Each structure stands twice: as structure tokens, then as C-alpha cells.
Amino acid sequence: MSIKNRTIFENDNLFVLRGMDSESIDLIYLDPPFNSNRNYAAPIGSQAAGAAFKDTWTLSDVDNAWHGEIADREPALYQAIHTAELTHGKGMKSYLIMMAIRLLEMKRVLKKSGSLYLHCDPTASHYLKLLMDAVFGRRNFRNEIIWRRNSGNNAGKQYGRNHDTLLYYAASNQATWNGSVADNYSPEQRSRFKTDPAGNLYKAENLTAPGVTPSRSFEWRGAVPRNRSWRYNKEKLEELWEAGLILTKRDGKTPRLDGLKTYLGPDDRPKVQSIWTDIHRVANTSKERTGYPTQKPIALLERIIKASSNKADVVLDPFCGCATTCVAAERLGRQWIGIDISEKAVDLVRMRLEKEVGLFGTVIHRTDIPKRSEKLPNYRTHKHTLYGKQEGLCNGCQTQFPFRNMTVDHIIPRNHGGTDAVDNLQLLCGACNSTKSTGTQAELLAKLQEQGIL
Ligand SMILES: C[S@@+](CC[C@H](N)C(=O)[O-])C[C@H]1O[C@@H](n2cnc3c(N)ncnc32)[C@H](O)[C@@H]1O
């Protein structure tokens, strides 16, 4: 691919993604605007001062051709967006179209062994999951990760909203998975262990095994297993005793039959599950803090990168903000590409990579659009644009139809002097198109009224 390691694109990620080769990326993490209906700005005086991005969406933010392209490439995806419009309105629809058109490209650039983590929150996570199921296939859904950002807040007449959601999908069943990393013990798990004077955790296990084996049924230091046998021979028991690994009864000298002290090693710690409570948001006083709005903690990205990529793999963050993903990828020996539309984000990325990982002068800043080595599809046909302009509705009967069931019609028929210009084109369903035939639009509408359809 024409994109080098450590490249930051300052551009709209849709255009950059469209310029990237298919199956060239190993891992994508994206933390897009969440449709929070807020606009974000960094505090004056912070490193990030000047950085801002909006998170309110209307249909004017959406290119008409995107509707058609989504409906053309993934009909189920467009249906999911339509459902969200019915339940939530045009703002959500616009946001989801903005996301869907990009998710289609992200899926295309991901290798078969790749994975994608979409960071969002409950404002839109339920709709985004439908979109992801349509783009990646529901069988490639792996986890809905709940990340507890903070301990809570006073939320009025509802429970405090203190978590984000990460939707984790694999590109296929060949996706890289290095296993979940070891977690810390929860307080209730800890309560099942004892702590020795040096602070190490241990639990007591049975020194005996079921069944009576004659060679293991001896008396040892005043203790005899009843209807059971020692798990070890006398020599091994003595060894354990000398090593201080056997607990005694109150008398301090008779071994307890359930007294085998078993220390917990790092590998015995439980694996991280889908609820993450041990990574804290970037606090105001944190060393990591740049002031960039919605900055995510490096530890969060490190966990994801370790689990779902290998050394030298290419990690992409198409909404990279102040480069948290790039810093984490660099630290872990992965290659990375970041994209952000904001000029300020790019400055910060540079600064942060120089400061945190000592990458002086090695970050490549690009404002162009990369060139794909494969042939580009036609993203913008008249039919795509018209589908968006009409929001998927037939211009005759006003019913929604899938893209493939729509036909392009000349509003003023060619035999009446109508041209092929897009202003003279509309989409009709098959039935309306044959009703209109070579007639005018007014004639079509009159016929539909006569038939009681309008
Ligand atoms: C939630 S922030 C990402 C924060 C980031 N994870 C971090 O830790 O700093 C979303 C970012 O997406 C960027 N953005 C929004 N729309 C974009 C687009 N179409 N193309 C590229 N970047 C975009 C914004 O400038 C903003 O920096």
C-alpha cells in the first residue's frame, strides 16, 4: 500500500478510506462523535486549545449519494437506518448514514484476520450494533464491552450514566486473538484468598484425594486421611512441610488435611471479561491529559491492541483525535495510521508522539487522498444521488423500496423533449414506472389518485 507507517492524514476519513487498498489493515479502533447533540471544544490554555468538533447531525451533513450507495451495497443496512429514523428521527438517521458509509469502507480495508472496535455510548450503541451486524455479519460479533468511565454522577431521575460501549467485531473467524489479558481480582474474589505476611495471595487446598490407596494411607506427623489417601508420598509431603507450604491445626504441629497452601501466580489471575472497570478516564490531573475533548486513556487502547493484533501489524484509527491509538500502537511495536479532519488534532498528534514516545520528526503528515492500487468503484451515479434525494421513496406512490427495485425515470419524457440531466430524473418503483410509461408526471399522479394509491 502507498501509505507508510506513522502517517497522519488531515482530511475527512471517508475520502482517505476510499483511497486505501482493500484488506490492508489489521486492526481498526474508532471513537467517532457519538451523536451526543453537543459541540466539543478543548479548554483554553490546554495543549489542545483550539481543537473542536461538532456532534449534532442533520440531513444537510449527509451527501445524497451516500443513501444510494448504502442501499445499493447493503440493503439491510439501509433498512436498519430507516428503522432508526422511524423510532428516533432524522437526526439519528443522518448520524447513522454518516457512520454507515464509513463502516462499509472500514470493512473493505480490513484484512480477513482483522478486527474492529467501535467506541460509542448508549445514545446510539443499539442502532450502531444493527449497522455493524449488517456490515460485518452477525456471526462476526464478538463482544459488547462495557467500559466504566467513572464511578458515577448525580443523574436526576435516572441511574447515573457512567459507561461507554465498545462493539467488537471480527472480520472473519480467522481474526487475530491473543487472549484476554489478566485482570485484577475483584474484592469478592480476593475475599476467598488469604494474604501471607509478605502480602502474597494464597488459598488452602486439599492435601488428600478420594479413594483409599494403600501406599498413600499412612499416618504422617500425627494426621491420617479417613476413607481418602494422601495426594503425595511421604518424601514430597516433607518437602512441602519444610517449604512452609502446609498449614497446621491450632496445636501448631499437626498438618491440616485441607492445608496445602497454594500461592497464586500471575497466570492464575482471572482474564479480563466484557465489563471493564479497572481503566480510569483521563482525569484533569493525569499526566496523559492533553485537554483534547473526549481523550481516551492509553491503557484502554493498549488492552485492545494487545488482544487483537501482533507486532508490526497495521493499526488504523480513522477518528484519531489527539492520537491515543497511535501512541499506544507505537509503544507496542505496531505500525499505525491516524486520520482526523481537524488541523489542531494533527498538531497535537505530532507533539504527543514526540513527547510520549520520542518520535521526533518521523511522523508523516499528509493532507492528500491516497491512491488505491485497485480500480475505484463508481460511488456517485445519478441513481445513488436520487435515492438520497428521495430518501428511498418512490416519487409516484411514495412507498419505500430497496435500491434494486427502483428505476430511473425521465420526469419530462424524452419524447416530450426531456433531457438526461439529473434535474429531469427521478426514481420510480417498477409499478409506477409502467403506469407512467411515456406519459408526464402529472398524468402519473392523476392515475395513482384515481386508483386510490395517493
Ligand atoms: C471522540 S474524538 C476522538 C478522540 C480520540 N479517541 C482521542 O483519544 O483523542 C472524535 C474525533 O473525530 C474527528 N472527526 C469527526 N469527523 C471526522 C471525519 N469525517 N473524518 C476524520 N475525523 C473526524 C474529530 O475531529 C475528533 O477529533
60 with 129, same domain? yes
CB of 428 shorter than 6 A to ligand 1:
no
How much is the pLDDT for 1? Answer: 59
296 with 228, same domain? no
96 with 27, same domain? yes
How much is the pLDDT for 426? Answer: 97
211 with 304, same domain? no
Ligand 1 center–CA 170 separation, angstroms: 22
| Residue pLDDT, tens place only, 151-192 | 777 778 889 889 999 999 999 999 999 987 776 777 777 788
Name the residue with cell 485537554: 291
* 350 located within any domain: yes
* 185 located within any domain: no
Residue nearest to atom 27 of ligand 1 (CA): 321
- Residue where one domain finishes, among candidates 335, 366, 397: 366
Ligand 1 center–CA 254 separation, angstroms: 66
Answer yes or no: are the C-beta atoms of 147 and 164 closer than 8 Å.
yes
242 with 216, same domain? yes
117 with 221, same domain? no
* 245 located within any domain: yes
280 with 359, same domain? yes
* 161 located within any domain: yes
171 with 225, same domain? no
Distance from C-alpha of 292 to C-alpha of 40, rounded to nearest angstrom: 9
Q: Which ligand 1 atom is at minimum distance from the Cα of 320?
A: 5
Ligand 1 center–CA 340 separation, angstroms: 6
- Residue where one domain finishes, among candidates 268, 286, 316: 268
* 293 located within any domain: yes
How much is the pLDDT for 259? Answer: 94
* 24 located within any domain: yes
Q: Domain holding 421: CATH number?
A: 1.10.30.50
Residue nearest to atom 18 of ligand 1 (CA): 12
CB of 319 shorter than 6 A to ligand 1:
yes
Q: What is the pLDDT along the chain (454 residues), one digit of tens a residue?
A: 579 999 999 999 999 999 999 999 999 999 998 877 777 776 676 777 776 777 788 888 889 999 999 999 999 999 999 999 999 999 999 999 999 999 999 999 999 999 999 999 999 999 999 999 999 999 999 999 999 998 777 778 889 889 999 999 999 999 999 987 776 777 777 788 888 888 888 989 999 999 999 999 999 999 999 999 999 999 999 999 999 999 999 999 999 999 999 998 777 777 889 999 989 999 888 888 988 878 999 999 999 999 999 999 999 999 999 999 999 999 999 999 999 998 888 888 888 888 877 776 788 999 999 999 988 888 889 999 999 999 999 999 999 999 999 999 999 998 889 999 999 999 999 999 999 998 999 999 999 999 998 8
410 with 296, same domain? no
Total domains present in the chain: 3
- Residue where one domain finishes, among candidates 226, 247, 268: 268
Ligand 1 center–CA 74 separation, angstroms: 25
301 with 429, same domain? no
CB of 260 shorter than 6 A to ligand 1:
no
* 377 located within any domain: no
CB of 140 shorter than 6 A to ligand 1:
no
Q: Domain holding 15: CATH number?
A: 3.40.50.150
pTM of the model: 0.85
* 309 located within any domain: yes
CB of 385 shorter than 6 A to ligand 1:
no
53 with 169, same domain? yes
30 with 138, same domain? yes
| Domain encompassing residue 149 | 7-177+272-366
